[in-house]
Structure 1
Amino acid sequence: MINKLEIDSVQLQFNSKTILSDVYLKCETGKITGLIGRNGTGKTSLIRIIYGTLIPNHKSIRLNEQNIQTPYKREELISYLPQSNYIPKQLRLKRIFSDFELEYSFFESYFTDFKTKYNSTINQLSGGQRRLVESYVLIKSNSKFVLLDEPFSHLTPLLIESIKELIIEEKVNKGFLITDHLYNHIVGINDDLYLLANQKTHLVKNMQEIASLGYIKEE
């Protein structure tokens, strides 16, 4: 069964300044949905609205045509990777993988640098290693939808490619919504792509359409 998560009629204002206006976005299981846009256009705000931790002036969020009010309270439905670290720094990797019901042996076979870190606290990792762990456990989680805000930050090119491969593998089981300033990594793996510009989302199909909205220069 294909599950469909939709948000529309989004209105968001801060101090009388309009950030988002009549925004619509759809994410489906089995697909990778990309969200790109210049800094300050409201990408993170939109993701937080979808997750339910930012209350806008108006919104409508639906799962399979049914309204949902607080998605973040349903772990089986949705998970969210924020730009900032979210796993408590004192937790050991052993505990983290246990809590997410994931096999550490599979993780360390994929990322061999972690073979000696099973009992390490997440605070003992480098910034890139910490981002990798936080992204991995959500990508492999049991949620129907995973929202990833800047998942490639602090990662080496090799690790970025590994994370992209995992996302592609896991989309069979869930839907992904990804935003990142490294837009080339999103454009390369997305099924659907939205550009946030002029306070609205635009479903775009090619680089020409992206350029016409002023996000990149036309070649």
Structure 2
Amino acid sequence: MNHVLEIDSTQLQFGGRKILSSIYLRCETGKIIGLLGKNGQGKSCLMKAIYGSLPCEKSVRFDHISIVESFKHPDLIVYLPQCNFIPKSLSLRRIFQDFTLEYSEFQNRFSEFAKREKDTVGSLSGGERRLLELYIIAKSKSQFALLDEPFTHLNPLQIEKAKQLLKEEKEHKGLLITDHMYRHIIDICDSLYVLTNGQTYLTKSVADIDTLGYARL
């Protein structure tokens, strides 16, 4: 069964500056939705609004049912924030036990983690830590996942492996992803929105990214 996540009627401002106003975004299970926008346009704010961790006027609906605090429903949605969220003191073994995931599958996909299940998160490099958190979120049993800058600190090989992971996991959930490495977003997304001046625009072609002033292609 396909599931649908929609957000609209969003109003958010800081210090008199309107950050989000004319927003409409739709995400479906089985698809990767890209969200692009220059720094300061409100991409992270929009994701936090959807997740429910940033209070603001909005309408967030799962299969046409309005839910205000989505974060209370991990079966519906999970969120990968820009900042690290797994404590440094935990071992990889403990993390995979807590999230009921198989460490063997993880290390088979990412060989740099082979036989390191006793290591703590604090011993990982920035890229390894990001890869771990991305994997945990991507493999969650939720209907939707929000991914904010998932490719941060990853090397080119890790990015390609991460993209393959996301392509596989979209068979089980809907993914909304934003990253400044926009060419990787374009490469894997099924639909693409550009956020500018508080509004979202569903692009019809890659050329629209240029027209909307996001990037010269």
* Alignment RMSD: 0.8
Matching residue of 1:14: 14
Aligned-pair identity (%): 53
In the alignment, the residues of structure 2 paired with residue 51 and residue 20 of structure 1 have an alpha-carbon distance, to the nearest angstrom, of: 15
In the alignment, the residues of structure 1 paired with residue 19 and residue 86 of structure 2 have an alpha-carbon distance, to the nearest angstrom, of: 29
Secondary structure (helix, strand or coil) at the match of 2:117 reads coil
Matching residue of 1:52: 52
TM-superposition CA deviations, 1:28-82 (whole Å, max 9, x none): 10000000010110000000000000012x1001011111111101111111000
Matching residue of 1:106: 105
Instruction: Check if 1:121 corresponds to 2:120.
Output: yes
- Give the gaps of 5 or more residues in structure 1: none
Matching residue of 2:208: 209
Structure 1 residue 206 displacement after superposition = 1.4
Matching residue of 1:5: 5
Secondary structure (helix, strand or coil) at the match of 1:19 reads strand
TM-superposition CA deviations, 1:130-152 (whole Å, max 9, x none): 00000001101101101000000
Structure 1 residue 205 displacement after superposition = 2.1
Q: Read off the aligned partner of 2:103 and give its amino acid letter.
A: Y
Matching residue of 1:156: 155
Matching residue of 1:62: 61
In the alignment, the residues of structure 2 paired with residue 201 and residue 183 of structure 1 have an alpha-carbon distance, to the nearest angstrom, of: 16
TM-superposition CA deviations, 1:65-123 (whole Å, max 9, x none): 11111110111111100000000111110011111111100111111111131011101
Structure 1 residue 207 displacement after superposition = 1.9
Structure 1 residue 217 displacement after superposition = 2.4
In the alignment, the residues of structure 2 paired with residue 155 and residue 217 of structure 1 have an alpha-carbon distance, to the nearest angstrom, of: 24
Structure 1 residue 198 displacement after superposition = 1.6
Structure 1 residue 16 displacement after superposition = 1.1
In the alignment, the residues of structure 2 paired with residue 191 and residue 86 of structure 1 have an alpha-carbon distance, to the nearest angstrom, of: 28
Secondary structure (helix, strand or coil) at the match of 1:188 reads helix
In the alignment, the residues of structure 2 paired with residue 208 and residue 126 of structure 1 have an alpha-carbon distance, to the nearest angstrom, of: 37
Matching residue of 1:80: 79
Instruction: Check if 1:194 corresponds to 2:193.
Output: yes
TM-superposition CA deviations, 1:132-190 (whole Å, max 9, x none): 00000110110110100000000000000000000000101000000000000000000
Instruction: Check if 1:95 corresponds to 2:73.
Output: no
Structure 1 residue 209 displacement after superposition = 1.2
In the alignment, the residues of structure 2 paired with residue 133 and residue 214 of structure 1 have an alpha-carbon distance, to the nearest angstrom, of: 34
Deviating runs (4+, > 6 A) in structure 1? none
In the alignment, the residues of structure 2 paired with residue 107 and residue 205 of structure 1 have an alpha-carbon distance, to the nearest angstrom, of: 36
Q: Read off the aligned partner of 1:25 and give its amino acid letter.
A: L
Instruction: Check if 1:135 corresponds to 2:134.
Output: yes
Structure 1 residue 22 displacement after superposition = 2.0
Instruction: Give the alignment's TM-score, normalised by structure 2.
Output: 0.98
